[in-house]
Structure formats: structure tokens, C-alpha cells
Amino acid sequence: MFPRHAWYVACTPDEFADKPLGRTVCGEQMVFYRDGAGRAVALEDYCPHRGAPLSLGRVCEGKLVCGYHGLAMGCDGKTVSMPSQRVDRFPHIRSFPCVERYGFIWVWPGDASLADLAKIEVLPWADNPEWAYGGGLYHIACNYRLMVDNLMDLTHETYVHASSIGQKEIDDTPCDTRVEGDEVITSRFMTGIKAPPFWRMALRMNDLPDDQLVDRWQICHFTLPSHVMIEVGVALAGKGGYDAQPEFKASTLVVDFITPETDTSIHYFWGMARNFKPRDASLTTQIRNGQGQIFAEDKDMLERQQANLLRWPDRRLLKLNIDAGGVHARRVIDRQIAAEKAVIAPLANARTATESVA
């Protein structure tokens, strides 16, 4: 199960620049396209005529035209026209609240009447010219909570990412976990250590020496419904660590939008935002390529983990001190799901009563 009354990153604008995009979010099959005004639209990916996927159609003058028999849909889910047919009695299909912001397309899979734009994750770096962002998308066959666990416990870096960002000091340094409302924060600070390969590269990119000891930090922020932002970086040892001046450090923000597809699959939008050399496009590409290789290692591990959990569903998993971030994040998710259930039942009853009177 997953929170539904929330905004999820569904796709990026380039994914449906040429034709409609079909994508499943929280178990809902959706189709994304742009209407006549250029606005992003999300509809149920289902033609009311014969059930064909509308994502196999095309967009004509802002209308989504089914690729099977030419039925044209409006952005409200109402059939607009169909060759040689009267369509006034055709059933509506579902329209999902959808908005383009920060370079992403966000969708609300829950009750449309509860959609609140103020609940979209605020990304200050996305509209700031002093920051650059590069990222990508992986489809991963695992439950979304497993990815949250993975990102809220970076101890795995020592083993899964040994050749890039892992080092034994991560194991040797305890992490601190705290909960602030619905946000879970896990942090680890390492001092006077050698920088691993990825961070040596980052130091060079920021015109800093890569052969000196550094202070390193990892601060993971979980927020609903399933977003994780991770402050990471290194500073030359003795220059203030996390609070060091920009000329002494290389720091970035790892961006993780985890969008459930089904109970055992996700759309994982990953990226990195940085505030040094923001106009260097080649640097953005180099960092994205390196980060993509790192997350590919996570993909393999998580898919195999999910397969094992499905194979042995009755086995209990251990909860250690390093798992605290993921454990608390799961509790926040569970509270949100329970709260949504408490809201959905009265809404459904009210609608049933209204329909009966009508």
C-alpha cells in the first residue's frame, strides 16, 4: 500500500514531447499529454469505447485521440468526438490532478477534491541559476519502501558502492536519527578521512586538491509520500566540515523521488543538484554518468532483495540501529495511510448519499 493523497513525480516533460506517455502510478494506469494550451494533462489510460490504452494514440489540436477507432478525449475525461458517432452518453474516464513544476510532472493519484498544490515538495535549488541539476530515471522491480530503507541507511555504501563512494569509515561512524513531525533525518559526520574515488573527482572538479584528508557528511531527509533528499559532501579537513566556506568544499544534494508503480515496482527519479560551476554542462554530464552507475548497483541489489522477500514472505527481518531512519520513515508512511483511510470513508459515504438523492 502507498499514500495516495500526495503529489508524486510521474515523469519529465521530455518523456511525452512527441506522443502520449503511458505510466502506472500507485496502481493507477495513466496517460500524460499536453492540451491545446500546452498544459500537462493526466487521464486514465483507458478508452471508454473498447478499453484500448489511450497512450497508444496521438494528440491532435489539444485532444487525445485513441489509436484504435479515433475517439477524441477532452482533458476533463469526457469524450469530445468520434467519427460517425454521437458521444454525449459516453461514460467519463478519470482525470488526475496534474501540474508541471521544477522540471517535473507531478500527479495526485488520490481523491481529486483533496489535491493541494501547497503540498508539492519545495525545491529551492530548481529555480536558482546558481545551481545545476542532472539526473535520470530507473524502473526498479522492488517495493518503494525498500528504496526508502536503502537511502535512509547509507551504511550499504561500504559494500554495494565500494569502488565509488564506499569506505570503511562509514561503518566506523555511528549515525544519528531524529524525527521532526513527518520528516525523518539521519545524519553521519566523518572527520579526517581520505576521500573515496567519487569525492576525489568532485574535489578536482571544484579546483580543490584530491590528496588531502577531508571531513565528510551525509544528511538524509525523508518526507512524504516517499521523497529522500540527501545532503552530501566533503571539505578539506580542519576547514569547518559541513559549515566550511565554499572555497574549501565540494557539496551536493542527492535528489530521490520514489514513485510507486505497483506493490513490487517503482519509478525512481534520481539526480544531483550542485551549487558549484552551475553553468558547466560537461561537468553536469560527468556527475550524472557517475551517479547513474552508482544507482545501477542499487537497482541490482534491491531487485534481488525483493525477489528473496517474495520467495520467503514469512521470514522476519532484523532491525538494527543502522535501520532507524528507514524504520521511522515507514512509521510516518503508515500513519499517513491510516489517516487517508479515515478521510476516504466519509467522502465515499457522502457521495453515495448524494447519488441516491439524485
pLDDT tens per residue, range 259-299: 999 999 999 999 999 999 999 999 999 999 999 999 999 99
Q: What is the DSSP string of 317-332?
A: PP--GGGHHHHHHHHH
Determine the CATH number of domain 8-118: 2.102.10.10
User: What is the structure's pLDDT at 347?
Assistant: 55
Ranges for all domains in the chain classified under CATH 3.90.380.10: 128-335
128-335: CATH architecture: Alpha-Beta Complex (3.90)
Separation in Å, CA 81 to CA 73, 88, 339, 345: 7, 9, 40, 35
Does pLDDT of 357 surpass 50? no
Ranges for all domains in the chain classified under CATH 2.102.10.10: 8-118
Does pLDDT of 213 surpass 50? yes
Helices 281-311, 197-205: inter-axial angle, 10-degree rounding = 160
pLDDT tens per residue, range 149-191: 999 999 888 888 888 899 998 889 999 999 999 999 999 999 9
Separation in Å, CA 32 to CA 57, 119, 183: 11, 21, 30
User: What is the structure's pLDDT at 318?
Assistant: 85
